[in-house]
Amino acid sequence: MTECRIAIYPGSFDPVTSGHYDIIVRASRLFEKLIVAVAPNPAKQPLFTVEERIAILQEVCASLPNVQVETFEGLLVDFAMKRGAQVIVKGLRAVSDFDYELQMALTNRRLCPQIETIFMMTNSEYVFLSSSMVKEIARLGGSVQGLVPKAVEPHLYRKLGRAVPNRETNRG
């Protein structure tokens, strides 16, 4: 049996949310090394540059010694092969994620059968969460406390040119 030592957790991470971070922490316990791979994904018109997303992720993951943050261009499986990774980790939030994730996992397997995709269920607290939702709340002046790791908040509001809101704002 081959041991799975290196895993890749890919995404846009624009920005990293608490849901992503939960997956990162749990996956980092399963593998010797976890590479968080930031995809440029220009189709999404990102708020943060790739360099900024990497810097934020590095700050957020500073206490996780076996987590490395990188970016990649081109096919994910090619990047995984270059890094000697055996596994792609993806988070599943709800049934609505399933079709798209299945399609990606099967495509990646077709492209590179040696690499296995594994799915981790997102913590129930974060099933509704996405980077877009976090950006929208912040853009409209709401508090994203608890929705993103603490270190992300100042970056987000600074980038949007807004002051960090009063923590009580969302509680009515």
Binding site for ligand COA (CB under 6 A): 10-12, 14, 17, 19-20, 23, 39, 41, 44, 75-76, 91, 93, 104, 107-108, 122, 126, 129-132
Catalytic residue among 12, 18, 28, 131: 131
Query: Is the Cβ of residue 98 or residue 166 nearer to ligand COA in the bound state?
Result: 98
- β partners of residue 116: 87
Query: Is the Cβ of residue 44 or residue 158 nearer to ligand COA in the bound state?
Result: 44
Cβ neighbors of 71 (< 8 A, separation 6 or more) are: 37, 38, 39, 40, 50, 54
**DSSP codes joined into one string, 58-109:** HHHTTT-TTEEEEE--S-HHHHHHHTT--EEEEEE-SHHHHHHHHHHHHHHH
From CA 122, how far away is CA 96, in angstroms rounded? 13
Query: Is the Cβ of residue 69 or residue 76 nearer to ligand COA in the bound state?
Result: 76
| Min separation Cβ 156 and ligand COA, Å | 13
Active site residue 150: no
Catalytic residue among 20, 53, 90, 155: 20
| Min separation Cβ 20 and ligand COA, Å | 5
State how far the alpha carbon of 25 is from the alpha carbons of 36, 52, 58, 139, in Å.
Answer: 11, 21, 13, 28
Closest-CB residue for ligand COA?
19
| Min separation Cβ 49 and ligand COA, Å | 15
Active site residue 131: yes
Q: Which of 148, 10, 134 is nearest to 83 (CA)?
A: 10
H or E stretch covering 70:
strand 67-71
| Min separation Cβ 68 and ligand COA, Å | 17
Query: Is the Cβ of residue 131 or residue 143 nearer to ligand COA in the bound state?
Result: 131
Q: List the catalytic residues.
A: 20, 44, 93, 131
